[in-house]
Amino acid sequence: MTCNHLLVFSLVCLGATAPIYAAPLSLNYTPTTNNNILINPDIGITDYQTINRHDNPYWSEPSAPKTSVVYYRWYWEQLEPQQGSYNYKLIDDTINAAKAQNKKIVIRFMTLAGLNETYYKGSLRAGKKILGIPCWLKKQIDPKTHNICKNDNSFVVNYKNKVFKHDLQQFIDAMGKRYDHNPTILRLDVGLVGTWGEWHLSTHANRNRPTLGSHGYKDKDLIPYITMMQKAFPNKTLSMTIGTPDENTTSYATQHGLGWRADCIGDWTPSWNHMQNGYPQTIKHIIGNGVIKNDQADKDFLNRWEKAPVDFEVCDDLEYWYNHQKIYTLPKVQKTFNTALALHASLFNLKSTKVPEQYQPILNNFIKKLGYRFNLKHITVTSSFTANSPITFHSQWQNVGVAPSYNNYPVVWRLRSIDNKYNYYFDTNNIISQWQPASTLTGKAPIYHQNNNYTLPKNIVRGHYYLDVAMVKPNTHQPQILLGINGKIKKRWFQLIPITIK
């Protein structure tokens, strides 16, 4: 027998009847990174009360960023107009519209609107004052003044009322039964209490007493509304708006697995404002360092982002900021977005409004960091590259965003023949939700090493291939994630290196 010497393989001749083995060869590749805006699942700017800002005739705005998540809020009265009869169609149609555009949805159910607030343009109830709770329930709770349902929303819910709690429980249980396993729902806000579901009584209460605590509500009165949502939606991620410095619901929620969100980010109003007063005071209270004692203090609150999401909603909108530039200077706008990144945000609700041109560069840089951003740093492929031989992929990964992915999209390797005729897939059990970013904006993200060992198929066709990689929907080969590297090909696969199978 004559041994053939090949450039890429070292062969050993063992005799006329013995098989020929090739020594393993290691191929190394370091992808180049890019600075592109990546529209990825579960993160980024959210469309608000519309599936796509660019398609909605009431909201059309070309400068609005592209999105993968939409945010919808519904009042209880919209969803249960008659007791026990649920308007599933409103929710179903919205979910299906989002799914058709490959988007996910965040939902909030609410019970109280702002005083004299009306339904928005384009709604079937446009111009009508929002009661919040169904009129049939209002009549049960307050039968002497039930005519207030007609066009007056000055009624304030008593969250201690047993009838209210019982009927709300029935409603939430019905919602959970229908939607807890719906894959298009990314998460739900626990917004059952307070004006706009934000756990305060703004507009309905004395300006100096808008908080729930100042109206006598205790932990035992409010925590059941969190538990209500947890029991109805055990398979969904829940989040909750941070409260006020005299109630403890947020710290209870974050210690029990909920994410958190904050409204009115970017408020720099002179005197008291959210950025310098509201957030710092509330966070101090949540971690137990506030003026008022917190029996549910969460000392680890500022690290909860590692396991549960953080979301923000803009105060007013960017057009308002632009029209009040003496307050909302460019440095202040930059500081607003940096604050969201420093707190490891994944979603940012811009309210689907116009983006003034001068803010566009700041916003673009913000979007590039918001949530996760995965880079393949290096790949080493080791094999003799023959049928039925071992093959190992040793890869190094880095999350250069500011938050983890709270859903898992496992890595899949693919050998694809250069004529695209043959594909061989190598699934992994990688859990990318464990790949954390740097803990600070100026810190360096850790490198995650993954060793994936396989055997090449016995019937693999000899020839020239490319090694591709993708992060996929679990239990499929459907790519979901845009990586921050060059080499993207069709359907969010990334081409890495050529490989020859001998």
> Considering the domain boundaries, does residue 170 fall inside one?
yes
Quick one: which of 277, 224, 215, 241 has its CA closest to 108?
241
- Which region, left, alpha or beta, applies to residue 255 given φ > 0 means left and ψ of -120 to 50 means alpha? alpha
**Structural domains of the chain, count:** 2
pLDDT digits (tens, 9 = 90+) for 244-262: 888 899 999 999 999 999 9
Residues 31 and 96 in one domain: no
Q: What's the pTM value of the predicted model, to 2 decimals?
A: 0.92
From 48-52, 267-271, 371-375, 460-464, the region with the lowest mean pLDDT: 48-52
Do 78 and 30 fall within a single domain?
no
105 and 246 part of one domain: yes
Q: How far apart are CA 27 and CA 500, in angstroms?
A: 11
Contacts by residues 153-157 (CB-CB < 8 Å, ≥ 24 positions apart): 153/113, 153/115, 153/116, 153/117, 153/129, 154/115, 154/204, 155/131, 156/112, 156/201, 156/204, 156/205, 157/111, 157/112, 157/132, 157/133
Confidence check: pLDDT of 146 > 90: no
492 located within any domain: yes
* 379-434 confidence digits (pLDDT tens): 999 999 999 999 999 999 999 999 999 999 999 999 999 999 999 999 999 999 99
With respect to residue 20, please indicate whether it lies within any of the assigned structural domains: no
Same domain, residue pair 291 and 381: no
Q: Do 295 and 378 belong to one domain?
A: no
Locate 390 and state its tokens.
């071992």
Task: Give the end of a domain, one of 305, 328, 357.
Answer: 305
Q: What HEC string does 49-75 produce? A: CCCCCCCCCCCCCCCCCCCCEEEEEEE
Domain-terminating residue out of 305, 332, 364: 305
Q: Give backbone dihedrals phi and psi of 310, rounded to 5 degrees, phi first.
A: -120, 125
Query: What are the backbone angles phi and psi of residue 144, rounded to the nearest 5°?
Result: -70, -25
Q: Say whether both 142 and 280 belong to one domain.
A: yes
Overall residue count recorded for the chain in this entry: 502
Q: Is residue 247 part of a domain?
A: yes
**pLDDT for 243:** 83
Same domain, 31 and 115: no
By the 8 A CB rule, do 256 and 206 touch? no
The pLDDT of residue 9:
28
Tell me, yes or no, whether 165 lies in a domain.
Answer: yes
Q: What is the pLDDT of residues 68-108, one digit of tens each?
A: 999 999 999 999 999 999 999 999 999 999 999 999 999 99
Domain-embedded: residue 47: no
Distance in angstroms (rounded) separating the CA atoms of residues 240 and 296 = 15
CATH assignment of the domain containing 291? 3.20.20.80
* Residue 492 domain boundaries: 25-36+373-501
**Which of 279, 305, 331 is the C-terminal boundary of a domain?**
305
Contacts of 30 (CB under 8 A, 6+ apart): 377, 378, 379
Q: Is 183 contained in some domain? A: yes
Asked whether residue 32 falls in the same domain as residue 96, the answer is no
| Claim to verify: residue 102 and residue 199 sit in the same structural domain | yes
Query: Are 284 and 379 members of one domain?
Result: no
Give tens-digit pLDDT for 349-361: 999 888 999 999 9
Q: Are residues 126 and 273 in the same domain?
A: yes
CATH assignment of the domain containing 465: 2.60.40.770
Residue 60 lies in a domain: no
